[in-house]
Amino acid sequence: MPSTEPRGPRQIARALIWSYKGLRAAWTHEASFRLEGYLSVIFFPLGLWLGNGGVEKAVLCGSLFLVLSAELLNSAIEAVVDKVSPEFHELAGRAKDMGSAAVFMLMLNVMLCWGLVLWQRFS
């Protein structure tokens, strides 16, 4: 059922609080998210420095955000699967593997984006 509650500053503030809680939970409980966060802290400024113009900077830096976003979704999938099905089930394993594969695909995307931009820059 759609929410009939009007959208305003209070709902926006709640959404920001929930997002902050999600980021904090991922940082606290997910080693992969922390590692990718540390790498992003290094590579984001590097992307701003190495990018030639707005589009290149957006590609280099934006690709990092995609990995972090996918890691958040993957962690959410894993948490729900573990809650619903603590014992091993083929479908639960498949869901976790697919979430992990999504993160992996976006890591390949980071390497492709950075490789193509830097190849043009330094060749």
**Scanning the structure block, which residue is given the tokens 């995609």?**
66
Choice among 30, 36, 56, 71 that is catalytic:
71
Does the annotation mark 71 as catalytic? yes
76 half-sphere exposure, CB direction, 13 A CA radius? 11
- Give yes or no for a contact between 68 and 37, defined as CB atoms under 8 angstroms apart: yes
Tell me which residues are annotated as active site: 71
